[in-house]
Amino acid sequence: MFDSPLSASAYEVLGVAPDVDDEALRRAYRLRLRQTHPDTGGDAAAFVQVQRAWQLVGTAPARAAYDRGHGFGASAAPQWDGWHVPAPRADTRPRARSYGHPGGRRRERYLDLIREWVGRGVELPDPYDPALVRSAPVEIRRLLADALAEEATARIVGDLGMGYTVWHDVAAGGRPDEKIDHIVLAPSGLYGILSEDTGGPVRVRRGELVGDGVAGTPIADLIAGIRTIARDARVRFGGAIVVVPDDDAPEPIHELGKVRGVRTVVCGRSALSTVLRRGITGAREVGGTELFDVRTRLNQCVRFA
């Protein structure tokens, strides 16, 4: 929750400055508990967020570790490496076939804009420094959050093994922003996947994702991209999957039925492997020689964004 570039810091959740003394921090925590407690009319999601913030900064050792890792304090030396490009994995187990670069286009755009925002001629030793990221405009932070979300999904799909094939950052229209984050070919079906991180809880209303940080119509855009690829490659998709951080999901696996004619699921990140293994209710399975035919058609058709 607090490691997303779009998330409020633990101090912001508690409503205090990062340099507040321990007693004032404790008072703020108790006040925020009363304000957000569901029994007194507060919001349950906010109440949980306050408790988690306190776990991060409520004791001297925890607070010191949080400050070091997230760039707070005069002598803070960021140690958390969660926003850098992940290092190659040494795991030798068979992995899913993978094409394209997950999050690559978002990271490139982020690096261009963060350098432009800092200013030409200004040395930028670490574009992922937590203090720098936290101070950047939300449009820039959103690019990094999107890249991280796509990379997280790629790791999950990769771990599913040789029976799966995934294409990342697939162009699905004439404009650069018209893309599908991932297309996954699995024994349970063929799916288009959107990796989302809006920095806060989301819910579904009338077949669309809504929430304070949701921009545009992500589910409608994903389905439009699926239809484009289905037509161009002459393949049939089993459904659309929207993946969000576990803390932000309305429930671990939320099947919406058909949205705009496409079976759609919103799930938490840790539930994605379950969805892909068992499939979406009513989705058409892909097996036998058809699996190879679908893979060939997609390899001939797919262009990367």
Instruction: State pLDDT tens for residues 231-241.
Output: 999 999 999 99
User: And the tokens for 201?
Assistant: 């809880």
pLDDT (0 to 100) of residue 77 = 53
Say how many CA atoms lie within 13 Å of 256 toward its Cβ.
Answer: 24
The answer, yes or no, to whether residue 73 has pLDDT greater than 70, is: no
Per cent of the chain over pLDDT 70 is: 96
Average of per-residue pLDDT across 186-214: 94
The one-character DSSP state at 164 is: -
Model confidence, pTM: 0.88
Torsion on CA atoms 286, 290, 291, 292, rounded to nearest 10? 180
Digit-coded pLDDT (tens) for 19-44 = 999 999 999 999 999 999 999 898 88
Range name among 86-95, 142-151, 231-240 with the lowest pLDDT average: 86-95
Range name among 13-17, 67-71, 105-109, 128-132 with the lowest pLDDT average: 67-71
Which is more confident, 242 or 83? 242
Average of per-residue pLDDT across 120-135: 85
Average of per-residue pLDDT across 245-265: 95
CA-wise closest residue to 107 among 160, 193, 169: 169
User: And the tokens for 14?
Assistant: 């508690």
Burial 131-141 (b: 16+ CB within 10 A, else e): ebbbebeeebb
Domain with residues 10-70, CATH architecture: Orthogonal Bundle (1.10)
For 161, other C-beta atoms within 10 Å of its C-beta total 12
Average of per-residue pLDDT across 96-117: 95
Q: For residue 84, name the pLDDT band (cuts at 50, 70, 90).
A: confident
Distances (CA, A) of 64 to 58, 67, 82, 176, 210: 10, 5, 18, 42, 36
Write the CB contacts of 247 (distance below 8 Å, at least 6 apart in sequence): 1, 48, 201
pLDDT (0 to 100) of residue 89 = 74
What span, in angstroms and rounded, lies between the C-alpha atoms of 66 and 60? 10
Torsion on CA atoms 70, 150, 252, 47, rounded to nearest 10? 30
pLDDT (0 to 100) of residue 1 = 58
Q: For residue 86, name the pLDDT band (cuts at 50, 70, 90).
A: confident
Q: For residue 170, name the pLDDT band (cuts at 50, 70, 90).
A: very high
Q: Where in the chain is the domain with CATH 1.10.287.110?
A: 10-70
Q: For residue 118, name the pLDDT band (cuts at 50, 70, 90).
A: very high
Contact 211/16 with Cβ under 8 angstroms? Answer: no
pLDDT (0 to 100) of residue 2 = 64
Contact 1/53 with Cβ under 8 angstroms? Answer: no
Pairing of the two strands 203-205 and 253-259: unpaired
CA-wise closest residue to 105 among 198, 32, 180: 180
Contact 118/49 with Cβ under 8 angstroms? Answer: no
pLDDT (0 to 100) of residue 83 = 86
Q: Which residues pair with 193 in a beta bridge?
A: 182, 241
Q: For residue 122, name the pLDDT band (cuts at 50, 70, 90).
A: confident
What span, in angstroms and rounded, lies between the C-alpha atoms of 258 and 262? 5
CA-wise closest residue to 23 among 68, 60, 76, 75: 60
Which is more confident, 72 or 204? 204
